[in-house]
Amino acid sequence: MLQRATLWLLLVLVIPTVPKDVAEEYATNFVQRKVGRIAASVKDTSRAAVKPWQVRKYVGVTFHKSGTVFLRDLFIHLFDALGAGPFDIGWTSSYNSTDWVKNHTNVLFPEAPIQLRTDTWWPALEQEIREAAAPQPIRIAAIVRDPLDMVASAYCYHHRGEESDNLQFFPQGTLQSMGPKEGTAFVAERMFGVVQNMTESFETPKEDILVIRYEDITASSKGFDEATGKLLDFFFAGLLSQEEYNSTLEASRQVDLNRFPLPDKEKGHTSDAACVAEAKQAALAMPGDLLAPFHSFQQRLGYPVA
């Protein structure tokens, strides 16, 4: 399992950067695989050997600082336990947050039946992907997070110099020179489009979408197991044996940081809790015309308004 996961991560490092129009074409094409080819594959395979991604499309959606690395690792462990190879999982990501910067989209294996999408999801695209997948059913899992926590976490993460080349926060070095009050306002402006897309996409329940709260799945091992159990039921109901279900659930637990804390050298994508708390408090002092929409995003997603 680790060998296949490692290969996939190595391939991520050499993702090509493509223009937005090409990426959008890929986004549609990856779900337009021939139904006849899929049907033939299933027909020629015994019931026990049919893989879930041969009969359903799977999409995992995250936004910057809502659990991107977490969901990526969870998908790798879940699907790897069921026999998926590195070429069965695709990934589309973007540094774009608002129209102030040209959209550069990274695309890896756009025709893979299992897809991860980072900062590349909005209502119109969701509908296009759903329609293109028909008549195959699709299952979409998204991790959402308190919008102001996302802003605070992003400030702490980038303020200490991580991903200094991230286009959302150019000019390079700007955010590193800002204190919490100025910096969180800067981050909120640059992440506005990301949070808006997250809110508009997942504020309303839909039958083929499972929304997981970052806070629930990361707070404790109990919360992790409950959220992951819901995900497995949502993704694989009627498709797995009990043995497969149990092995997949056990594999997923490798991602639970309460069970398996990361060593210090691997904590690059996490932010210090004290820094996040200070930054979130500072974010409440951002200009009212910027804070008000974030309060609205919180409310629409079911989070308490600070």
Q: Tens-digit pLDDT profile for the chain (306 aa)? A: 555 555 555 555 554 444 444 444 444 443 343 333 333 344 444 444 789 999 999 999 999 999 999 999 999 999 999 999 889 999 998 854 444 444 567 788 999 999 999 999 999 999 999 998 889 999 999 999 999 999 999 999 988 878 777 778 878 778 889 999 999 999 999 999 999 999 999 999 999 999 999 999 999 999 999 999 999 999 999 999 999 999 999 999 999 999 998 776 555 566 788 999 999 999 999 999 999 999 999 999 999 997
In whole angstroms, what is the distance from residue 273 CA to residue 84 CA?
35
Structure tokens at 34: 């021939």
- SS3 state of residue 94: strand
Q: How many CB atoms lie within 10 A of CB 295?
A: 16
SS3 207: coil
**209 within a domain of the structure (yes/no):** yes
- Cα torsion 164, 278, 69, 266 to 10°: value is 80
* 164 to 21, 100, 169: CA distances (angstroms): 26, 18, 8
Structure tokens at 50: 């049919």
Rounded CA-CA distance 65/80 in Å is 24
Sign of the CA dihedral with 212 first, then 213, 214, and 216 last: negative
- Whether residue 305 is contained in a domain is answered as no
Q: Would you say residue 73 lies in a domain?
A: yes
Compute the 3-state secondary structure of the chain and give helix, strand, coil in percent, each to the nearest 5: 55, 10, 30
Q: Residue 108 pairs with which residues in a beta bridge?
A: 91
Read off the tokens for 64.
């910057």
C-alpha to C-alpha distance for 225 and 276, rounded to whole angstroms: 25
The helix/strand/coil state of 183 is helix
Question: What pLDDT is stored for residue 1 in this prediction?
Answer: 55
Tokens of 72: 């990526």
Q: Whole-angstrom Cα distance, residue 17 to residue 84? A: 25
Instruction: Return the bridge partners of 212, or none.
Output: 143
Tell me the sheet residues that pair with 253: none
- Residue 249 forms part of a structural domain: yes
Bridge-based pairing state of the strands 209-213 and 138-144 = parallel
When divided into structural domains, the chain yields a total of 1
* Residues 178 and 236 sit within 8 Å (Cβ to Cβ): no
In a domain? residue 234: yes
Domain assignment present for 279: no
State which residues form the domain around 127.
2-150+205-269
Per-residue DSSP letters for 71-95? Answer: HHHHHHHHHHHTT--GGGEEEEEE-
Is residue 102 assigned to a domain?
yes
Question: Do 143 and 66 touch, CB atoms closer than 8 A?
Answer: yes
Q: How far apart are CA 296 and CA 218, in angstroms?
A: 24
Q: Is 137 contained in some domain?
A: yes
